[in-house]
Structure 1
Amino acid sequence: MTISPSADLRARVAHLFVHPVKSCAGVALSEVRLMDTGLDLDRAWMVVDDTGCFVTQRELPRMALIAPQIKATEVVLRAPGMLALHLDVDRVETPTRATVWRDEVPAWDMGHVAAQWLSDFLGRPGLRLVRFDPDTQRLADQKWTGDVAAPVEFVDGFPLLVVSQASLDELNAKLQAAGHAAVDMARFRPNIVLDGLQAQDEDRLAELRIATIEGAVVLRPCKPCSRCPIPNIDPATGQSSPEVLDTLSTYRANATLNGAITFGMNAVIVNGQGHMLRVGDAVTADWRF
């Protein structure tokens, strides 16, 4: 597969982010492997309560302060006032079940040390850390993915989230015009940030073609990303204030999603699983409309 020289749009991969533990801080990477389920290790772990149901920054905003670091064979979690928690990428403890939204799936419990670490830092007894079971298939909603059966791990809905830098720049201009501070892309938890687009161009793109060393990666934006209150949470402090969503609501209400506030596009993988994505990779695309 080759990159079309006649594509309508040319851009580049500006940033790549992986969020190993759902709803904890992300990790900026210069390169990362694209798996069937999205970026390698993205939302591979999840915090659950004593019933096995997922918990996020919506209920526990201090989760934003848990900062993972990805090493060769482990993920290390750090948080203020806590010793580091080391998670072996290839080691789990006991089988369990976990619920994320409407899906109850097999998972692996990461043990009592991880559970106590989370409960201590987040101030909520009974929390556990679970790992997605790779032998389980959880699929994104085919109402939106169409002919692509898109497996996912513990993400809310889709393998990838794509956002343009220009969209964040537009939001920050509106925030600053209203007397508020600019915000970082970390609030929106994307996987791929594109440079070279105009604000909100990602909403109107058909398939994205990313030129990697191994060959072309093809992604298909499929659904605007509707926003919960998490973007209001400052990832540096864990404190919430309403100005981000209040500002987005003035120009990003999406009629096709019953007026939901949207920012960024969810995407599925059409081709290129196993390839390495790198910051600086060239991107071409055609307009969907």
Structure 2
Amino acid sequence: MNISELYIYPVKSCRGIKVNSWKINQYGFKYDRFWMLVDDQNKSLTQREHSKLALISPIIQENDDDDNGGVLILTNPENDQELILPLLPNKENHSKLSVTICGEIIMAYDCGKESLKWISDYLGFEAKIVYKSIEESRFIEKNLPSKDELLKQPETAFSDGYPFLIISEESLSDLNKRLSLPVTSRNFRPNIVVKGCKEPFEEDTWKKIVIGETNDNLFFVVARCIRCVMTTVNPETGVKEGLDPLKTLQSYRRVDPGAKYKACFGKLLDYLLYLFSYK
């Protein structure tokens, strides 16, 4: 079995970046969902309500001589106007605020007036871009292996709950055979895509995943991923296109006893490593 695709999503609910290798830090893939958009009530904004977020393209430019230097560049697809944000912001220049994500209140920093204008102009209403406060931890609590296995308490930045999502090409192919219009892996916003499973949804049986030649690259499979209306957003156009693939998934992938009316696709992972790459 091999990895076929690898993605990071610097800004929650915006377009991902396909990469060949990437580092891991205490939150998951470095810079993955380290930034987030919030409304005037400081509640997170996602493609569930604002599908055009799928068109905001991020670029990460790191400085070779500084592990934390560089910039995040966001491009407005309507006018090509760029917003440039530091990868390592000076928190003294930004206000700290409480933000709400998935019903959870955590601390973040406002990226400033320029970013407020940039994202508000694109969305047509007042919004802000915030980045994760590194002074305060956001620990993962649910469905964890034993502390003896994990050796540490996993964290995440602005993901919905877990730092990694994995899907297989075989499961995607099985779904596409049932659809009139096929979809791509990007509809499901995975971090890791694998190929070479013996059958579709083989990942339902996985408990641990070792990537690479040593057991240092160890991931724990902790939960099924319950899918929502974001799977219906065309990642190329930013438009919701009917109810497929969600409706089709609901017809045969209600497989989680704890969420028996929800469709599942992909698995959520915790991790036990700090450096990850593949070629």
TM-score normalised to structure 2 length: 0.89
Name the counterpart of 1:172. 176
Mapping of residues 234-253 of structure 1, within 5 Å: 234-240=234-240, 241-253=242-254
2:144 aligned with 1:145, yes or no? yes
Name the counterpart of 1:266. 268
- Give 1:99 shift: 1.1
- Give 1:215 shift: 6.7
CA distance in 1, matches of 2:203, 2:76: 34
Determine if contact 2:208/2:221 at 8 Å carries over to the other structure.
yes
Q: Which runs of 4+ in 1 moved over 6 A?
A: none
Q: 1:255 to 1:192 in 2, by over 3 A?
A: closer
- Give 1:101 shift: 1.4
2:13 aligned with 1:23, yes or no? yes
Determine if contact 1:68/1:78 at 8 Å carries over to the other structure.
yes
- The sequence identity of aligned pairs, in percent, is 28
**Structure 2 gap segments, 5+ residues each:** 63-69
TM-score normalised to structure 1 length: 0.86
**Structure 1 gap segments, 5+ residues each:** 1-10, 281-289
Letter in 2 for 1:47: L
Determine if contact 2:145/2:220 at 8 Å carries over to the other structure.
no
CA distance in 1, matches of 2:39, 2:54: 17
Name the counterpart of 2:74. 77
- Higher relative contact order (Cα pairs below 8 Å, separated by 6+ residues): 1
Tell me the matched-pair count: 260
SS at 2:6 equivalent? strand
SS at 1:114 equivalent? helix
Name the counterpart of 1:87. 85
Determine if contact 2:253/2:265 at 8 Å carries over to the other structure.
yes
**For the aligned residues, what is the CA RMSD?**
1.5
CA distance in 1, matches of 2:7, 2:178: 25
SS at 1:168 equivalent? helix
Cα-to-partner distance string for 1:52-100 (whole Å, 9 max, x where unaligned): 1111111111101111111111111113223111111011522222111
Determine if contact 1:34/1:277 at 8 Å carries over to the other structure.
no
Mapping of residues 158-197 of structure 1, within 5 Å: 158-175=162-179, 180-197=180-197
Aligned match of 1:47 in 37, 43, 47? 37
Flag the structure with higher strand content: 1
Determine if contact 2:5/2:193 at 8 Å carries over to the other structure.
yes
